[in-house]
Amino acid sequence: MNDPILIATRGSALALAQANAVLAQCRAAFPSLRFELKIIKTTGDKLQTASLAQEGQALPKGLFTKELEVALLRGEADIAVHSLKDLPTELPDGLKLGAVGRRADVRDVMIYRATPVTGGAPTSPRGFPPGLRVALANSAAITTGRTATGTSCAAHGKPV
């Protein structure tokens, strides 16, 4: 029996959603081959409790990708899937960007109902009371716990 093709990924909800989409595409394109996900914890994952963005300091390169790259180079994984936003602009020797998936609709939409908390029906996130916590969703991920400050919300694909 043939060994499975191992797809390395982070364990975050977004990473798993992306990796499972690639897994499904691989299985559909190559039904005679076996594919499995291999979840790898990265430095960025381990630092989730610490503030990653500290004023005046740059984030280390490969914070969310280094361990995936090492697994590929050591032969512990055959391919890796992760967000382009996490991918360094220069890959280590021996690795190549092999594919970029089809992009989903990039527009974000915020749906809410008028309640006493929202103060009626604001026309944009700037109209919400300061400190109100909202959830933003797009086709790739759901991010919760952001504060409606005007910079962390988007409507119709444009920052507000």
Residues labelled catalytic: 86
Nearest-angstrom CA–CA distance, 91 and 66: 10
Rg (CA), the chain: 19
Nearest-angstrom CA–CA distance, 110 and 121: 12
CB 44 within 8 A of CB 64: yes
